[in-house]
Amino acid sequence: MKKHLVVLTGAGVSAESGFATFRDTGGLWEQYDVNDVASIEGWYRNRSLVLDFYNQRRAQLKDAKPNAAHEAIAGLESTYNVDVITQNVDNLHERAGSTRVLHLHGELTKMRPENGVYDKTGSEAEVIDVAYRPIMLGDLAPNGSQLRPHIVFFGEAVPKIEKAIDLVEKADILLIVGSSLQVYPAAGLYRYAPSGCPIYVIDPKPVPLSDPRVHFIQDVATKGMAAFIEQLKAL
Ligand code: OAD
């Protein structure tokens, strides 16, 4: 029986693929007002601005490549039963070969109708894969409403949090990579880890987690993953 390794990732895991994080110096939330481009109120205020923000991110994703941290996480599937829970909207875990990836905050390459079933039922039946194409005001879904990013905006529920909690509750080992743990409910997920479950945190900056189960690896994701894999051998 393989042990169950649950990996929670944030923007830091994709930093070495060239993606700015959100809250670091020079991060996205220094360049943009989060309320304008990533909130539900911002969407209703100025849809073009929000579409443009995500069009830029999507175009950047087309040319990006998974880094050694994404690859190391995917490689662990040969020895562990791995579930990735990511706050990232990129697809770099999948492109590195991870087979079970839960996107808590949505996906850049997908859109859905503004007035569709998802917001009422959580059903992804109307979600459309647009790959890396830009989407404009006036691009409509088959149900006739404007296409919107398949992204969890601030002010919206996080429909996949229950599934994520279920996974963390069944973890033998929890690994957190590159998240400032500022945004709830994702930031509280580690609390659901079973009492004997070791928690590893990889981040170049100290992350405020005061839990006796935490082992801190203070490094960037690529080097931190190499150190984590060494530490796994001793478990
Ligand atoms: P943040 O930008 O808040 O945090 C990024 C973390 O990555 C910080 O703790 C950095 O120290 C760390 N970091 C920076 N470079 C790194 C590297 N090379 N290797 C490893 N870690 C590195 O990003 P998140 O915690 O992911 O949500 O943010 C959570 C959510 O807030 C995002 O999903 C997004 C954002 O607003 C939405 O837009 C809905």
CATH code where residue 59 lies: 3.30.1600.10
Q: Which of 56, 73, 72, 52 is nearest to 64 (CA)?
A: 56
Selected residue with higher pLDDT from 69 and 234: 69
The overall average pLDDT reported for the chain is 96
The pLDDT-based confidence of 169 (bands split at 50, 70, 90) is very high
The tally of domains found in the chain comes to: 2
The pLDDT-based confidence of 214 (bands split at 50, 70, 90) is very high
- Determine how β-strand 81-86 pairs with β-strand 101-103: parallel
In this structure, the answer to whether residues 195 and 98 fall within a common structural domain is yes
- Per-residue pLDDT, 210: 86
In this structure, the answer to whether residues 97 and 207 fall within a common structural domain is yes
**pLDDT of 50-95, one tens digit each?**
999 999 999 999 999 999 999 999 999 999 999 999 999 999 999 9
Three-class secondary structure of residue 219 per DSSP? coil
In this structure, the answer to whether residues 133 and 196 fall within a common structural domain is no
- Residue 184: alpha-carbon gap to chain centroid: 13
175 CA distance to ligand 1 centroid (A)? Answer: 15
Measured CA to CA, the distance from residue 165 to residue 167 in angstroms comes to 5
Measured CA to CA, the distance from residue 139 to residue 147 in angstroms comes to 6
In this structure, the answer to whether residues 184 and 114 fall within a common structural domain is no
- pLDDT at residue 200 tops 90: yes
Q: Which of 91, 98, 95, 166 is nearest to 129 (CA)?
A: 91
Pair 78, 92: CB distance under 8 Å: no
In this structure, the answer to whether residues 166 and 219 fall within a common structural domain is yes
Domain final residue pick, 118, 151, 184: 151
In this structure, the answer to whether residues 129 and 184 fall within a common structural domain is no
Q: Nearest C-alpha to atom 38 of ligand 1 is from which residue?
A: 38
- Per-residue pLDDT, 163: 97
- pLDDT at residue 25 tops 90: no
Pocket test for ligand 1, best of 103, 203, 223 (most atoms within 8 A of CB): 203
Phi first, then psi, for residue 150 (nearest 5°) are -85, 65
Return the ligand 1 atom nearest residue 180 CA: 9
- pLDDT at residue 208 tops 90: no
Pair 79, 233: CB distance under 8 Å: no
Domain final residue pick, 122, 151, 180: 151
CATH code where residue 189 lies: 3.40.50.1220
In this structure, the answer to whether residues 198 and 231 fall within a common structural domain is yes
In this structure, the answer to whether residues 25 and 95 fall within a common structural domain is no
Return the ligand 1 atom nearest residue 29 CA: 36
Q: 10 CB under 6 A from ligand 1?
A: yes
Percent of the residues in the chain that have a pLDDT greater than 90, as a whole number:
92
Vertex 11: Cα angle to 23 and 89 (nearest 5): 120
Q: Give the pLDDT mean for 178-203.
A: 97
List, as one string, the DSSP characters of 20-82. Answer: --SSSTT-HHHHS-HHHHSBHHHHHH-HHHHHHHHHHHHHHHHH----HHHHHHHHGGGTSEE
In this structure, the answer to whether residues 76 and 138 fall within a common structural domain is no
**pLDDT of 114-139, one tens digit each?**
999 998 888 899 999 999 999 999 99
- Determine how β-strand 81-86 pairs with β-strand 173-177: unpaired
In this structure, the answer to whether residues 43 and 143 fall within a common structural domain is yes
In this structure, the answer to whether residues 170 and 227 fall within a common structural domain is yes
Q: 222 CB under 6 A from ligand 1?
A: no
In this structure, the answer to whether residues 189 and 114 fall within a common structural domain is no
Output the pTM of the full model: 0.97
| Active site residue ranges | 105
- pLDDT at residue 143 tops 90: yes
Q: Which domain holds residue 51?
A: 20-63+110-151
